Amino acid sequence: MKEVKPSICRFCHAQCAILVEMEDGKAVKVYGDKDNPLYHGYTCIKGRELPYYHDADERLIRSMKRQPDGTHAPIGSEDAMDEIAAKLKQLIDEHGPRSVAIYIGTHGFNNFATEMISRAFMNAIGSPMVFTSVTIDQPGKAVSAALHGTWMGGGTNIDEADAWMLVGTNPIVSQFGGMPVNPARQIAKAKKRGAKLVVIDPRQTDVAKQADIHLAPKPGNDPTVLAGLLRVIFKEGLYDQEFCTKHVNGFAELREAVEPFTPELVAERADIPADKLVEAARTYAKANRAGVTAGTGPNMAGYGNLTEYLVMSLMSVCGHWRREGETVPNPGVLINRIPPTEAAIPPSPAWGFGEKLRVRNLTDTAAGLPTAAAAEEILMDGPGQVKALINLGGNPMMAWPDQILAHEAMKKLELLVCIDPLYTATVELADYVIAPKLTFEVAGTTALQEFLGAGGPGVGYQQPYAQYCDKLQEPPEGADVIEDWELFYGLAKRLGIELHVSSKSFLDPKAAKANGTTLDMNNKPTGEEFWDILMKGSPIPLDEVKKHPYGKVFDVPETRVAPTPEGWEGRLDIGNDVLMKELEEVHSNIVHEREKDYEFRMISRRLSDIHNSSWHTNTKLTRKFKYNPAFMNPEDAQRVGVKSGDVIKITSQRASILGVVEATAEVRTGSIAMSHSWGVNPDDPRDDDVRNYGGNTGRLTDTTKDFDPHTGIPRMSSIPVNIERVDAA
Ligand SMILES: Nc1nc2c(c(=O)[nH]1)N[C@H]1C(S)=C(S)[C@@H](COP(=O)(O)OP(=O)(O)OC[C@H]3O[C@@H](n4cnc5c(=O)[nH]c(N)nc54)[C@H](O)[C@@H]3O)O[C@H]1N2
Ligand SMILES: Nc1nc2c(c(=O)[nH]1)N[C@H]1C(S)=C(S)[C@@H](COP(=O)(O)OP(=O)(O)OC[C@H]3O[C@@H](n4cnc5c(=O)[nH]c(N)nc54)[C@H](O)[C@@H]3O)O[C@H]1N2
Ligand code: SF4
Ligand SMILES: [Mo]
């Protein structure tokens, strides 16, 4: 029997509305839902391959246990949980709860349910050691939001903007950073309306091709460029005096700090035309409504907190925030937003609180515990040492910086548990891998995308939209798979602990906890019931959302930004002294001194058909590239005597990897652009087979030398490297 069912793609955070063709109860084809009011039929190849993942030969459909000879053999999921729980109990009894850590990777977030229950689990065992991919992604976002404060009125959306600026983010490919939900369409619509697009990226990216102004600076110069933009705005009086007087502290401090960043200095340092910088500043600042977003590149290229802080300062200086009386387009469907008010929640600490790590003076941060230090926490002997790691939907061996250190750490663990549908480089080293149910085998919602949007401007839904989807099919014959969250339920039950799961419908942790649910440890909820628990207290009840299986823009009462409450004292801060000192450091140019022995800067980028380390085994996803090409400018290629297809050795101060050259004028000279999460483990004999497996750029990073002193994130983009040819095409 054939039928078509609505669903949500959860392969990445974009959560596209999809239609699934079912044959005899099994998904056979996926396409976009053209009638969907937000996505308008958008999908990508990664989503359209969903039926493949469910059926793939390489999909793990049984849990596995590591044998004494290092190989893995199947084990029942209940037996695996018995053994894992026993080992956890032993470690907690002998070494305390801090010896148990978790790492939540991208699929732990895409599958919202697991993130929440895993945090509840860690709470219940009393371990603070929760690491996530956020601190090796864009930690500058949460840090700068804390130091700058939060504007309760919210920011501008692209669909109402006159100007839009993207700093090292390529949403047409990443579906992130500035305009998720069919970004190509959003840009086309905005441009048709006359909105101006400014892109700052060393590559001529998909969005740069659409830009009115594209600045292609030398990598790692974003603080310099942003300070230059701010200086023009101050000099030419293009700021919003009224907004700053009423709501902003640190105006004089920032103006003074950016003063040395003249257009000429920026032009020289970043190698961009001074007049284009000035034009970009005017275009942005003169716009009535505008937004800026920075992406992974600048967050990873050094001084990421400062970059994000200057981005926020650009918005505040120009008053590009929603004001009293303005309509709030999306007051929230599944997520309760901060009550829209013309007021600032003042700055809060961004680091220096919570759990103190034993290494490099790092502490908990607004972005979470520094994941870049997790390997050292595992390797360093002594009280508090991490001895067990539960890896939830992540792949540390591919994604963590400093792959060599990560490899030593994974091997040293007494217990490594992964929940993953693939035999990944991390799973290879795991003691247990739990085989999970996949997308069509579980219920889901669009809450993640809405949640991302509730945290800041430029992400999430611009309208009150939500979708819920039921599970569509059963796991393959003979499979023993569980929903990711059931692992934590199963372990808690065996350890005799109770789980209190906070509601994910609230941004405020206190409200989230108050609306949380203490799970009944004798009657396990179903996956569907678990979503009811997670969405408890949502502005529109999940039951109502369920009535519209194709997704819906809900009729919500018109919401306007409320006036500043009487006596309100909260103000935004654009002059944080730690970051102003960093700006001074940037001006004194120490960065460039440190890099002088290296000819190139390796920058990070994403490939449209591949999501991080997932499913490189699918030949449709790899039909363009079976590896992560080393994209470089033809001029550079010619100068060093290489051409497309040649294998090069890329050497940083930490290590060497191999790469396959792809010459393209889209990359500015002096840079090599490569995607992360490719390659194999350092001791894998396939390491030389770069044409089939790619090279791991994380291996080039050095977590202990070149790192942010607060979030611990090392240089993961703009890494100084040299190259030499090793093999012709
Ligand atoms: N050098 C360098 N390093 C980087 C980056 C960079 O730009 N440059 N980027 C960083 C960024 S932004 C991030 S977010 C991290 C990513 O870091 P990770 O999240 O650790 O890496 P992923 O490859 O996204 O891991 C996803 C894992 O989930 C598994 N998976 C797929 N589907 C499912 C499912 O349905 N259920 C479960 N349980 N698992 C599933 C996949 O097989 C894979 O192992 O990497 C970071 N590392
Ligand atoms: N297709 C696909 N989509 C993805 C992913 C994927 O792997 N594939 N990963 C997902 C994840 S985990 C994340 S976090 C998001 C990330 O989303 P984005 O941040 O949008 O990621 P990218 O598309 O890599 O864009 C980063 C850009 O930074 C530029 N860049 C590098 N270094 C510098 C620098 O020093 N300065 C400036 N100005 N630019 C620089 C690169 O050229 C690149 O164009 O994407 C998500 N979406
Ligand atoms: S963009 Fe993400 S959510 Fe949308 S179809 Fe592609 S993988 Fe799925
Ligand atoms: Mo990410």
The DSSP secondary structure of 577-599, one letter per residue, reads HHHHHHHHHHHTTHHHHHTTT-S
Q: Ligand 1 mean position to 614 CA, how many Å?
A: 7
Residues 6+ apart with CB under 8 A from 178: 158, 164, 166, 169, 171, 291, 293, 295, 458, 459
The DSSP secondary structure of 435-500, one letter per residue, reads PBP-GGGS-EESHHHHHHHHHSTTSS-SSSEE-EE----PPPTT---B-HHHHHHHHHHHHT---E
Which pLDDT tens digit goes with each residue over 208-247? Answer: 999 999 999 999 999 999 999 999 999 999 999 999 999 9
Nearest-ligand number for the alpha carbon of 106? 1
Please state, in angstroms and rounded to a whole number, the distance separating the CA atoms of residues 679 and 673: 16
Q: Ligand 3 mean position to 551 CA, how many Å?
A: 16
Mean pLDDT, rounded, of the chain? 96
Q: Percentage of the chain surpassing pLDDT 90?
A: 94
Please, are residues 9 and 1 in contact by the beta-carbon 8 Å criterion? no
Which class in CATH covers the domain with range 59-131+370-431+481-534?
alpha beta
Does residue 390 surpass a pLDDT of 80?
Answer: yes
Q: Which ranges of 613-728 does DSSP label H, i.e. alpha helix?
A: 634-640, 690-693
The CA-to-CA distance between both ends of the chain, in Å, stands at: 50
Give the atom of ligand 2 at the shortest distance from the alpha carbon of 177: 20
Domain spans of the chain?
59-131+370-431+481-534, 139-325+572-578, 594-727
**594-727 domain in CATH 3.40.630.20?**
no
Which pLDDT tens digit goes with each residue over 393-434? Answer: 999 999 999 999 999 999 999 999 999 999 999 999 999 999
**Strand pairing category for 196-200 and 26-32:** unpaired
Does residue 1 surpass a pLDDT of 90?
Answer: no
Does residue 548 surpass a pLDDT of 90?
Answer: yes
- Name the more confident of 683 and 508: 683
Mean pLDDT for 524-553 is 97
Please, are residues 527 and 489 in contact by the beta-carbon 8 Å criterion? no
Note whether 59-131+370-431+481-534 and 139-325+572-578 share their fold: no
3 state DSSP class of 81 = helix
Looking at residue 593, what is its pLDDT? 67
Q: Ligand 3 mean position to 336 CA, how many Å?
A: 25
The verdict on the CB of residue 628 being under 6 Å from ligand 2 is no
The verdict on the CB of residue 420 being under 6 Å from ligand 1 is yes
Max Cα separation, the chain? 71
The alpha carbon of residue 260 and the mean position of all alpha carbons in its chain are separated, in whole angstroms, by 33
Provide the pLDDT confidence category of residue 727 given band limits of 50, 70 and 90: confident
Q: Is the pTM of this model over 0.85?
A: yes
Mean pLDDT for 651-670 is 97
User: Residue 153 to residues 126, 225, 562, 564: CA-CA distances in angstroms?
Assistant: 36, 28, 8, 10
Please, are residues 388 and 100 in contact by the beta-carbon 8 Å criterion? yes
Mean pLDDT for 525-543 is 97
- The encoded tokens of residue 407 equal 């490899």
Does residue 592 surpass a pLDDT of 70?
Answer: no
Residue 156 φ/ψ region, left for φ over 0, alpha for ψ in the -120 to 50 degree band, beta for the rest: beta
Please state, in angstroms and rounded to a whole number, the distance separating the CA atoms of residues 375 and 357: 12
Does residue 456 surpass a pLDDT of 90?
Answer: no
User: Residue 501 to residues 8, 189, 432, 533, 582: CA-CA distances in angstroms?
Assistant: 24, 41, 25, 8, 39
Residue ID of nearest Cα to ligand 2 atom 41: 605
The verdict on the CB of residue 426 being under 6 Å from ligand 2 is no
Please, are residues 109 and 13 in contact by the beta-carbon 8 Å criterion? yes
Q: Percentage of the chain surpassing pLDDT 70?
A: 99
Q: Ligand 4 mean position to 296 CA, how many Å?
A: 7
- The encoded tokens of residue 561 equal 């930004």
Does residue 16 surpass a pLDDT of 70?
Answer: yes
The verdict on the CB of residue 393 being under 6 Å from ligand 2 is no
Which pLDDT tens digit goes with each residue over 135-153? Answer: 999 999 999 999 999 999 9
Provide the pLDDT confidence category of residue 591 given band limits of 50, 70 and 90: low
Which pLDDT tens digit goes with each residue over 346-377? Answer: 999 999 999 999 999 999 999 999 999 999 99
Q: Which residue bears the tokens 């102004």?
A: 213
Half-sphere exposure of 600 (CA within 13 A, CB side): 28
Mean pLDDT for 249-275 is 98
Which of 8, 43, 439, when mutated, tests ligand 3's pocket best, judged by the most ligand atoms within 8 Å of its CB? Answer: 43
Provide the pLDDT confidence category of residue 313 given band limits of 50, 70 and 90: very high
Please, are residues 308 and 419 in contact by the beta-carbon 8 Å criterion? no
Q: Ligand 4 mean position to 577 CA, how many Å?
A: 29
Amino acid at 291: G
CATH number (1.10.3720.10, 3.30.1360.230, 3.40.228.10, 3.40.50.970) of 139-325+572-578 reads 3.40.228.10
User: Residue 345 to residues 112, 146, 315, 342: CA-CA distances in angstroms?
Assistant: 27, 9, 16, 10
Judged on CB neighbours under 10 Å (0-12, 13-18, 19+), 511 is middle
Mean pLDDT for 542-554 is 98
- Name the more confident of 459 and 319: 319
